[in-house]
Chains A and B, each alone.
Chain A
Amino acid sequence: GAGVSQTPSNKVTEKGKYVELRCDPISGHTALYWYRQSLGQGPEFLIYFQGTGAADDSGLPNDRFFAVRPEGSVSTLKIQRTERGDSAVYLCASSLGLAGVYEQYFGPGTRLTVT
């Protein structure tokens, strides 16, 4: 079956611009996670959705970052006033429930470059 998909695969934007990154989870997966992976680092937790609500957004670095999941399926990560330090690969993962119990399935990521 279809896995987690993310669009776009690559995004280049200028400093100060607004970007949206999209995640399509596996059908039926209620839990959805966003991570950020900088070069040479492991994925860093950003936010976790259970259904439509953000159950834990403690990893969002500041108020320029925001994520939604209005219908409990597709999620969009939104970054305002992008900075060069936002350049990274943004990963999305979904699972049937909590990541400690159910396997997380990762998407291929969106590589964001802020020039």
Chain B
Amino acid sequence: GDSVTQMEGPVTLSEEAFLTINCTYTATGYPSLFWYVQYPGEGLQLLLKATKADDKGSNKGFEATYRKETTSFHLEKGSVQVSDSAVYFCALYNTDKLIFGTGTRLQVFP
């Protein structure tokens, strides 16, 4: 069945460092891909999405490119801030449901 695999955390960075969180997927057909974020004490929020191959989703300085050839959707940010500390979930949408990865906790220190 469809599945999402993302790197285990926690990822610990200093402020202004470059961030990459890896995500790969297995799916039949052509799923849409998403990154969701969960800030401490808050609910899940959509961060960005891409609906077809080579699309780039971007929001709040984060980017991810839908790579069909490598079945990947890695999340990147050029310069993280303390306020980016959260849990990040990669997800795919296929046949009417979202399938999530296990989440990666990001901790950014000043």
A81 → chain B closest CB, angstroms = 26
Question: In angstroms, how far is the closest chain B Cβ from the Cβ of A58?
Answer: 8
B46–A43 touching, CB < 8 Å: no
Q: How many of chain A's residues have a CB under 8 angstroms from any CB in B?
A: 25
Q: Find residues 23-60 in chain A having any chain B CB closer than 8 Å to their own CB.
A: 33, 35, 40-45, 48, 55-56, 59
Interface residues in B44-78 by Cβ distance below 8 A to A read 44-46, 51
Contact B103 A98 (CB under 8 A): no
In the bound complex, how far is the Cα of B4 from the Cα of A98, in angstroms? 20
Q: Is B43 an interface residue (CB 8 A)?
A: yes
Instruction: Report chain A residues within 8 Å CB of B44.
Output: 43, 91, 93, 106
Given contacts A91-B44, A106-B45, A109-B43, whether A99 and B97 have CB atoms under 8 Å apart is: yes
Residue among B31, B44, B102 facing the most chain A CB atoms (10 A cut-off): B44
> Which of chain B's residues have a CB closer than 8 A to the CB of A99?
93, 96-98
Please state if B102 and A104 are interface contacts (CB–CB under 8 Å): no
A100 contacts chain B at the CB level, 8 A cutoff: yes
Q: A106-B45, A108-B43 are in contact. Are A100 and B93 (CB under 8 A)?
A: yes
Q: Which of A43, A45, A56, A108 has the most CB of B within 10 A?
A: A43
Nearest-neighbour CB distance to chain B for A47, whole angstroms, equals 9
Residues of A within 8 A of B93 (CB): 99-100
Chain B residues within CB distance 8 Å of chain A: 4, 31-32, 42-46, 51, 89, 91, 93-94, 96-103
30 A-B pairs in the complex with CB atoms less than 8 angstroms apart? A3-B43, A40-B103, A41-B102, A41-B103, A42-B4, A42-B89, A42-B100, A42-B101, A42-B102, A43-B44, A43-B89, A44-B100, A45-B97, A45-B99, A56-B97, A91-B44, A93-B44, A98-B96, A99-B97, A100-B31, A100-B32, A100-B51, A100-B93, A100-B94, A100-B96, A104-B46, A106-B43, A108-B42, A108-B43, A109-B43
